[in-house]
Amino acid sequence: MSNRKTSAEKTLARLVEILRRLNEGERIDPKALVSEFGVNLRTVQRDLNERFAFLELEKRDGLYSINRARLGRLTLQDVQRFAGLAGLQGLYPRLSTEMLRDILDASRQSALLVRGHNHEDLSDSEPVFRQLQAAILAHQVVGFEYRKPEGPKLVSGLRPYKLVNQGGIWYLAATDNGQLKSYAFTKIDRLLVGPDTFAPDPAIHQVLAAEDSVWLNLRKTEVVLKVAPAAAGYFLRRKLIDGQKTVKELEDGGLIVSGLIAHPNQILPIVRYWIPSVRVISPEGLQAELDAQLRAYLADP
């Protein structure tokens, strides 16, 4: 992949995410987008004032929002016009009009749930993706061969609910004998859509709407972090962990924050990313586990 295409894809991901948020009624803070997407303020202002000029955005107190009369009503023509202005057609399925319409039109039933601003390249498996998307909308039971480190595993009788894009990776959220699970889409082979249908459980949809990760264990553990002043601003502006709450603002400008996790791997990568500005206070032993991992890594020649 060329650097030019990589740059275009990053631009695409940023614009799709901004457009999605606007269409859902969010008020956009340009300065927050600068840190989130790693671009300068001039680039963000160009996105909002030039690329999205056709939306006639309203600006108040430095925040941009879509006119309430157009909220949730972006048309396919709007999407096509946006794609043309951005000059980013041809990166399917990152910017197919069909997928954008699914993502942006909050008023229609959709099989897709997108969190974050990166999108996995599914060019080689687009037909299977669409087949699974159709099965979700039709509430059809599915089965497939799932690739695991120890070898392929045959799963059947799954009730598919959503295709979730989490951190750039697509997952299938489905129930297996009543238990909600997630499956990495690119590990799915030999998809079989059966003739049987099911009645979706509204409680499952509520869980998926509230969940911020692909760890779909319904039993969560509280995690408490100490955040140094250097990273505090990022945790105040964005929810970086599921159920994040600010427990206390410290005198030195740091924070104590809490959240909910279903698995240690849900929090440890975040703490590693923010070293040395974030430490785990509880559960007891989790920070020691991370320290041991780091010592083993540093000792490995």
Residues 41 and 64 in one domain: yes
Q: What is the pLDDT of residue 2?
A: 44
Question: In Å, how far are 34, 45, 83, 84 from 90, measured between CA atoms?
Answer: 26, 25, 10, 11
- The count of domains in the chain is 3
In a domain, 20, yes or no: yes
pLDDT (mean) for 34-44: 89
**Higher-confidence position of 210 and 63:** 63
The verdict on residue 118 lying in a domain is: no
Please give the pLDDT value at position 215: 60
Residue 191 located in a structural domain: yes
CATH code of the domain in which 73 resides: 1.10.10
pLDDT at residue 91 in the model: 38
pLDDT, tens only, 234-266 = 888 877 787 789 999 999 999 999 988 877 877
Kindly tell me if the per-residue pLDDT of 40 is higher than 70: yes
* 3-state DSSP of the chain: CCHHHHHHHHHHHHHHHHHHHHHCCCCECHHHHHHHHCCCHHHHHHHHHHHCHHHCCEEECCEEECCHHHCCCCCHHHHHHHHHHHCCCCCCCCCCHHHHHHHHCCCCCCCEEEECCCCCCCHHHHHHHHHHHHHHHHCEEEEEEECCCCCCEEEEEEEEEEEEEECCEEEEEEEECCEEEEEEHHHEEEEEEEEEECCCCHHHHHHHHHCCCCCCCCCCEEEEEEECHHHHHHHHHCCCCCCCEEEEECCCCCEEEEEEECCHHHCHHHHHHCCCCEEEEECCCHHHHHHHHHHHHHHCC
pLDDT in tens, 69-99: 655 555 555 555 555 544 444 433 444 445 5
Q: Is residue 98 part of a domain?
A: no
From 151, 186, 210, give the residue that closes a domain.
Answer: 210
The tens digit of pLDDT for each residue in 175-211 reads 999 888 889 898 999 999 999 999 999 888 887 877 6
Tokens 């695991």 found at: 148
Q: What is the CATH number of the domain that holds 294?
A: 3.30.70
Residues 196 and 227 in one domain: no
Mean pLDDT over the full length of the chain: 79
Question: Which residue carries 């606007």 as its tokens?
Answer: 22
Rounded to whole angstroms, the Cα distance separating 82 from 84 reads 5
Q: What range does the domain containing 280 cover? A: 221-299
Select from 40, 67, 91 the last residue of a domain.
91
- Residues 70, 283: Cα–Cα separation, whole Å: 46
Say whether both 206 and 228 belong to one domain. no
